[in-house]
Amino acid sequence: MAEAIQKKLQAEVEKYTLMQKDVSKSMAARQKLETQLTDNNIVKEELGLLNSTNTVYKLIGPVLVKQDLDEAKATVSKRLEYINGEIQRYEAILKDMEKKSEQHRELLSSLQQEYQKAQGLAVGKV
Amino acid sequence: MAVNLTDLSLPQLEGLKTQLDQEIEFLTSSIGQLKVAQTKYVEAKDSLNVLNKNNKGKELLVPLTSSMYVPGTLNDVETCLVDVGTGYYVEKSVEDSKAFFKRKIDFLTKQIVEKIQPALQEKHAMKQAVVEVMNVKIQQLQQSQQSSQMVGTTSA
């Protein structure tokens, strides 16, 4: 009886560790998006300060390519939109994961109690 | 904080201290990184001073690689190309570029002074409090151990 519970407990713990790994992976991805968001916001601000006398270049590989100011602004705005969307997506994923881990933690603690009880019974019998 | 420090056990306090140590380390290294970035901007701003009318047409050596230079003449002292981030470069007048670098330097100073340093001080204060509570707890523990030993010897 105790052994069966122990096996189940071990399997659940393993599942839980995997889940935690996923959580930290998503956290890292979110953090990265946050950095990109700040980067792009800074660029947007800088582009906003320019006027038509300034020439804008975009670095593509090792080459600087001349680009229209409005086009650059549009690109950055689009990027910001995309990044914000991604952050929201990750936020939802993380919330979901948090809920699942919470449930899993409860499952684990109840299993642990069961296991301890079963162990106590086994000892009592001997 | 809703949790009273004195209610926590020694291992919990130990864990809290480790966490605070990590946070302090992170913030300190952030300040270091920002200062490095700031120095770069200061250097860039200073080197713009070379671009003035007096130096126009002067000869200079252009580094093609880190070990090879070719001669050239300073043709344009009015504009330069500034990296504004995420792969965008903007041609600006020297004055505008200086203003750009000044903006960046001020921005970084603000981040350090207004955001990171207060946070760091707060963490330091929290750590101090945790360490104090830990010391009190350790002393209490030692005292209770000593008194229980005394009881043990007298009864024996």
Q: Would you call B86 and A54 a contact, using CB atoms and an 8 Å cutoff?
A: no
User: What does the mean pLDDT of chain B come to?
Assistant: 92
Residue B111 pLDDT > 90: yes
Mean pLDDT of B90-118: 95
Q: How far apart are CA A10 and CA B134, in angstroms?
A: 35
Mean pLDDT of A58-70: 94
Name residue B40's amino acid: K
pLDDT in tens, B7-19: 888 999 999 999 9
- Cβ contact A20:A35 at 8 Å: no
Percentage with pLDDT > 70 across chain A: 98
pLDDT confidence bin for B147, thresholds 50/70/90: confident
Residue in A closest to B100 by C-alpha: A46
Q: Would you call B85 and A46 a contact, using CB atoms and an 8 Å cutoff?
A: yes
pTM across the whole model: 0.79
Mean pLDDT of B114-131: 96
**Nearest-neighbour CA in chain A from B133: distance (Å):** 31
Phi, psi of B61 (to 5 degrees): -105, 125
Mean pLDDT of B130-156: 84
**Nearest-neighbour CA in chain B from A64: distance (Å):** 8
pLDDT in tens, A89-99: 999 999 999 99
Contacts of B134 (CB under 8 A, 6+ apart): B10, B13, B14, B17
pLDDT confidence bin for B33, thresholds 50/70/90: very high
Handedness of CA A112, A117, A120, A126 (dihedral sign): negative
**Nearest-neighbour CA in chain A from B126: distance (Å):** 26
Looking at residue A69, its pLDDT comes to 94
Contacts of B91 in chain A (CB under 8 A): 54-57
User: What does the mean pLDDT of chain A come to?
Assistant: 92
Looking at residue B6, its pLDDT comes to 85
Q: Would you call B89 and A56 a contact, using CB atoms and an 8 Å cutoff?
A: yes
Q: How far apart are CA B85 and CA A44, in angstroms?
A: 10
Q: Which of residues 53-82 of B touch A (CB under 8 A)?
A: 81
Of B81, B86, B90, the CB nearest to A50: B90
Looking at residue B154, its pLDDT comes to 59
Chain A residues with a Cβ under 8 Å from any Cβ in chain B: 39-40, 42-43, 46-47, 50, 54-60, 64, 72, 76, 79
Order of strands across the sheet with B88-93? A63-67, A55-60, B88-93, B79-85
This complex has an ipTM of 0.74
Looking at residue A3, its pLDDT comes to 85
pLDDT in tens, B36-87: 999 999 999 999 999 999 999 999 999 999 999 999 999 999 999 999 999 9
**Nearest-neighbour CA in chain B from A39: distance (Å):** 7
Looking at residue A120, its pLDDT comes to 83
Q: Does B37 touch chain A (CB under 8 A)?
A: no
Residue in B closest to A45 by C-alpha: B84
Mean pLDDT of B99-110: 96
Q: Would you call B85 and A58 a contact, using CB atoms and an 8 Å cutoff?
A: no
Mean pLDDT of A68-97: 96
Residue in B closest to A62 by C-alpha: B87
Q: Which of A75, A83, A47 is nearest to B89 (CA)?
A: A47
Residue B155 pLDDT > 60: no
Of A46, A50, A59, the CB nearest to B87: A59
